[in-house]
Amino acid sequence: MASSGILVFIFTVLCICAVKSGFVKVECKAENVGHYGQQSLLECVVKTITDVTDPNIRMVAWKKLTSPEDEGDLVLGFNRGTLDEPRGQRGYRFAEPSWNEKNMNVSLLITNTAVADDGYYKCMVITDSGDGSMVTTLKVQARYSVPTVHSIPEKIVPNTESTLVCESRGGYPQGTICWFDAEKHEWTKSAKMEVTQSDDGLFQLTSRLSLLGGSTFSKYICAVFNASGGKEDEKTFDTNIPPPPPSSQGGERTASAYTSKVVAPLVVIGSLIIGLLLLLLYKRRSQKARRNSTAPLMDRRDAAPTDVEEGYNSHEDEPINQAQS
């Protein structure tokens, strides 16, 4: 009988707690972004139903998790009027400077964000009207430095092999380096990138692009991209070498366009010359034809005096011939 009474009591307490927990809900922003070396805010507030008036917070626990299912380690706590700041967990505090048990804004402020702060957090709240909890995340970002580029050897000699080295550091999460020539053609596949991580968790990127003799462009661009694919900065390196003759499809199209520009004027000039030659030839033939057509007329005029001397066709000669007869 006694054991059955204890079971009934435990069941009753569990039911009451379950009902009271429905009166309180912790709502957090699912994903927060923090910048390295700056303040980061994880937003969480306690919401209650309309029937609950003037609630009091008895306990708050902020925990850093290695996974959403992990129990985690306490970074900031509040327990019945006493603030709990674990040793070794510095830089965590409530976002409200004058926070107390009446304040339903339990947001966490990280004063000096580090790479180690990246990850999952759990906010647990117990009030006199119930309790609730929620998991949120912080994504830490650090901008990469402006890249630097140098060549090996220091002075690039035409028709010899050389290497371009591009470096950028101080970024997080891990990014990448891409290479482009002056015509915006990408050469990243021809490069090799090395990634190192310092003690503070920030990354250093080093990319080496090998240049073959006789195929070196006049300029190369080293661009740094963050983990999200956004370009952060770039640096242009001038090799002081004239561009090589086009060998790719783009080069062939350029050469074809150049050839068209040169050939077109030559065709026009050649057509004009041929037209002038044909015109001169036509004029010479016309003049020659005119001379040939006037030759019979000249012969007839020369023949008239001869007829008069012989006396057959002149009317003036007829009386003389009659008198003689």
Q: One-letter amino acid identity for 265?
A: P
pLDDT above 90 covers a percentage of the chain that reads: 52
Q: What is the DSSP letter of 94?
A: E
Please choose, from the candidates 12, 20, 80, the residue with its C-alpha nearest in 3D space to the C-alpha of residue 52.
Answer: 20
Question: Residue ranges of the alpha helices (H) in the chain?
Answer: 2-21, 249-310, 318-324
Residues 6+ away with beta carbon under 8 Å from 172:
36, 115, 118, 140, 141, 142, 201, 202, 203
Mean pLDDT of the chain: 80
Residue whose pair of structure tokens reads 């001038």 in the numeric block: 238
Answer whether 60's CB lies under 8 Å from 106's CB.
Answer: yes
Share in percent of the chain as helix, strand, coil (round to 5) = 30, 35, 35
- Determine which of 14-18, 123-127, 204-208 has the lowest per-residue pLDDT on average: 14-18
Distance (Å, whole) CA 302 – CA 66: 129
Please choose, from the candidates 202, 198, 208, the residue with its C-alpha nearest in 3D space to the C-alpha of residue 227.
Answer: 202
Please choose, from the candidates 30, 23, 65, the residue with its C-alpha nearest in 3D space to the C-alpha of residue 44.
Answer: 30
**Mind listing the domains of the chain with CATH numbers?**
23-140 (2.60.40.10), 148-238 (2.60.40.10)
Distance (Å, whole) CA 195 – CA 207: 9
pLDDT band at 23 (very low <50, low <70, confident <90, very high): confident
pLDDT at 81: 87
pLDDT at 63: 95
| Tens of pLDDT, residues 70-103 | 888 999 999 988 888 886 667 899 999 889 999 9
- Determine which of 214-218, 239-243, 309-313 has the lowest per-residue pLDDT on average: 309-313
HEC profile of 201-219:
CCEEEEEEEEECCCCCCCE
Answer whether 58's CB lies under 8 Å from 128's CB.
Answer: yes
Residues 6+ away with beta carbon under 8 Å from 317:
308, 311
Specify the higher pLDDT residue, 154 or 308.
Answer: 154
Average pLDDT over residues 22-44: 93
pLDDT at 286: 74
Average pLDDT over residues 124-143: 94
Joined together, the tokens standing for residue 277 give 């030659």
Q: How many other CB atoms are there within 10 angstroms of residue 246's CB atom? A: 14
Please choose, from the candidates 210, 217, 167, the residue with its C-alpha nearest in 3D space to the C-alpha of residue 192.
Answer: 210
pLDDT at 262: 56
Across the beta sheet with 176-181, what order do the strands follow?
A: 176-181, 219-225, 231-238
pLDDT above 70 covers a percentage of the chain that reads: 73
Residue 311 pLDDT exceeds 80:
no
